[in-house]
Structure 1
Amino acid sequence: MNIKLKTVILECRDIPQLLSFYTGLLHWPVVFEIDTFVGIHSNQDEMGIAFQYDENYIPPTWPSKPGHQQMMAHLDFAVDDKNELKEAMEKAIKLGAKIADEQYGGEEWVTMLDPAGHPFCFVVWNH
């Protein structure tokens, strides 16, 4: 099994602002873009960051404080095919994760919750 961290997705209300900051900081090119989602990717390795529009996004308080918005992000982990997707899901469940009640990505994209409730995805990544 070959599980790789592929993309960190940051929710925001202003995609151009985050895109400008991270492309300026990292010099990573835009590799995917629609109105509500833009992804950048390293030329040196297989890591990327994406920016996803959320009209209800509330910036986190740092450091965190009870009763205030906490930091939130989710991770996408790449697998090579549907067999590895199944293996990765089974392994995650054995380690304490559960499959999220709502799914949005079809048969090659599964959203799960880690033991603390943070969402992450396993994705059949063909490139």
Structure 2
Amino acid sequence: MALARIAMTTLDCADPEPLAEFWSALLGGAVMARNDDVAVVQTDTIWVGTVRVPDYTPPTWPDGPTPKHIHLDLAVRDLDQAEAEALRLGARKADHQPQPDQWRILLDPAGHPFCLTANIPF
């Protein structure tokens, strides 16, 4: 029996509120807690925290002076539709796309890379 389970993934950023709003809209959740330095999004499957870090520098992906620290893989039903919606919500498409027919690599508004895929059951 497991002693613990993953409860939340927390992302560093310069401004927690808009990043939480982005993840809330993308994942269909709600911002449940917020203050000047932290915001927390609750969804049916995961909680996502956003925390203010002084002098935040976005990760560079896939390499560079500030490598990614973590990324999320998101299962979707329709890759093209999910990408379009994520872009509408404020994501940016990463320049490096090693397998765009299977994975779309996007950057959230704070620069964190995340992947959309239809290869993992939704």
What SS does structure 1 have at the residue aligned with 2:60? coil
Within 2, Cα distance between the matches of 1:20 and 1:71? 21
Within 1, Cα distance between the matches of 2:33 and 2:20? 12
**Pairwise mapping of residues 4-23 of structure 1 onto structure 2 (< 5 A)?**
4-23=5-24
Q: Report the CA distance between 1:39 and its aligned residue.
A: 0.3
Match of 1:84 in 2: none
Within 2, Cα distance between the matches of 1:3 and 1:23? 25
**Pairwise mapping of residues 72-91 of structure 1 onto structure 2 (< 5 A)?**
72-73=69-70
Q: Is the 8 A contact 2:10 2:48 kept in 1?
A: yes
- The Cα offsets for residues 15-42 of structure 1, whole Å up to 9 and x where unpaired, read as 2221221111112111222210110111
Within 2, Cα distance between the matches of 1:16 and 1:34? 8
Aligned residues with identical type, % of pairs: 22
Unaligned runs of 5+ in 2: 71-122
Match of 2:48 in 1: 49
| Runs of 4+ with deviation above 4 angstroms | none
Within 1, Cα distance between the matches of 2:35 and 2:69? 22
Q: How many residues align?
A: 70
Within 2, Cα distance between the matches of 1:55 and 1:32? 20
CA RMSD of aligned residues (A): 1.9
Amino acid at match of 2:67: Q
Q: Which has the larger Rg?
A: 1
